Amino acid sequence: MATADLTVLGLGRAEASASAYVAEIQRRLAAQDRVRYRMHAMGTSLEGATADILAVVAELHRVPLDLGLPRAYSVLKLDERTDKPGQTLDDKVASVRALLESEDGYGAEVPSPARPDHPDADDGGAGHADGAFGGHDHPAPAEPPTVAEAQALDAPAGDLRAGDEYVGGVVRATRLGVVVARDAGASAFVPVDDLHGEPPSVGATLAVRVVGVDARGHARAAPTG
């Protein structure tokens, strides 16, 4: 697993607008299933195998040329770790949020990724206009937060499985969400966006249904009441 950030610039345009080739880049990303992607204000984040990322980047780099522009200039930042081979884009964000939370108890607000209303971005970035991951067979994770943050909030799933329902006690409450424990060895993370009204405090009980368990053994749940 590798993560990357890409900006494609088409040079030689008669107009300042980059919407034509940015839109085409978005279409090509949506048509592939090799990498996951997310558009932000200054480019596109990519996630997948290094070879797949490089292959997709090579195709996206040619988009301005395919549309008749005389020059394409691309900037790629590629990050691959051997100590954390499965690290995702969401994991990187979660680690920073966890650090901020540990510094002040309840954490600091972290702005969500920018979501341009349309692909006419000043930097010629590419990606999915709503800022979510895209591509066939790659469902978009909810943002924020994601299951990855359950790790930072100490929510081991234990023997919980998707579809399990239980009434548990809130053992941790933060601005990201709450951790609801079924017992000492099994708990699930409920994002604040899924809670209705004021988040419950530590010690309260909450009926939840497990939505999913990630590869690291951390569960995400949603209230059933």
100 shares its domain with 152: no
Residue 43 within any structural domain of the chain: yes
pLDDT digits (tens, 9 = 90+) for 57-91: 999 999 999 999 999 999 999 999 888 888 888 88
- The angle at the Cα of 119, spanning 115 to 122, to the nearest 5 degrees, equals 90
* 186-191 and 219-223 beta bridge pairing: parallel
Q: Rounded distance, CA 110 to CA 116, Å?
A: 18
83 shares its domain with 159: no
Closest Cα to residue 163, out of 204, 124, 213, 218?
A: 213
Residue 152 within any structural domain of the chain: yes
Q: Which of 35, 70, 104 is the last residue of a domain?
A: 104
Residue 140 within any structural domain of the chain: no
Helix extents (H) in the chain: 19-31, 50-61, 63-66, 89-104, 148-152
CATH code for the domain in which residue 22 is found: 3.30.70.930
pLDDT value of position 185:
82
pLDDT digits (tens, 9 = 90+) for 159-172: 888 889 999 988 88
Residue 186 within any structural domain of the chain: yes
Q: What are the distances in angstroms from CA 25 to CA 18, 39, 222?
A: 11, 11, 35
Q: Which of 49, 78, 104 is the last residue of a domain?
A: 104
Under a CB-based contact definition with an 8 Å cutoff, are residues 175 and 107 in contact? Answer: yes
84 shares its domain with 174: no
32 shares its domain with 85: yes
Computed on alpha carbons and rounded to an integer, the radius of gyration of the chain in Å comes to 20
Q: What is the DSSP letter of 138?
A: -
pLDDT value of position 103:
55
161 shares its domain with 87: no
88 shares its domain with 154: no
Under a CB-based contact definition with an 8 Å cutoff, are residues 89 and 38 in contact? Answer: yes
100 shares its domain with 186: no
Tell me the whole-structure pTM to 2 decimals: 0.48
User: Which domain does 15 fall in, by range?
Assistant: 2-104
98 shares its domain with 20: yes
156 shares its domain with 72: no
Q: Sign of torsion, CA 116 143 128 73?
A: positive
Q: Rounded distance, CA 193 to CA 115, Å?
A: 18
The dihedral over CA atoms of 10, 11, 15, 21, expressed in degrees to the nearest 10, equals -10
- Residues (pLDDT < 70) of the chain are 102-155
97 shares its domain with 155: no
Helix extents (H) in 32-108: 50-61, 63-66, 89-104
| Residue whose tokens read 């969500």 | 112
pLDDT value of position 6:
94
CATH code for the domain in which residue 217 is found: 2.40.50.140
63 shares its domain with 157: no
22 shares its domain with 74: yes
Q: What are the distances in angstroms from CA 183 to CA 53, 157, 169, 170, 171?
A: 42, 10, 8, 11, 10
Q: Is 135 helix (H, G, I), strand (E, B) or coil?
A: coil
103-110 own/partner pairs: CB under 8 Å, 24+ apart: 106/174, 106/175, 107/174, 107/175, 107/176, 109/175, 110/144
Q: Which of 42, 77, 104 is the last residue of a domain?
A: 104
Q: How many domains does the chain have?
A: 2
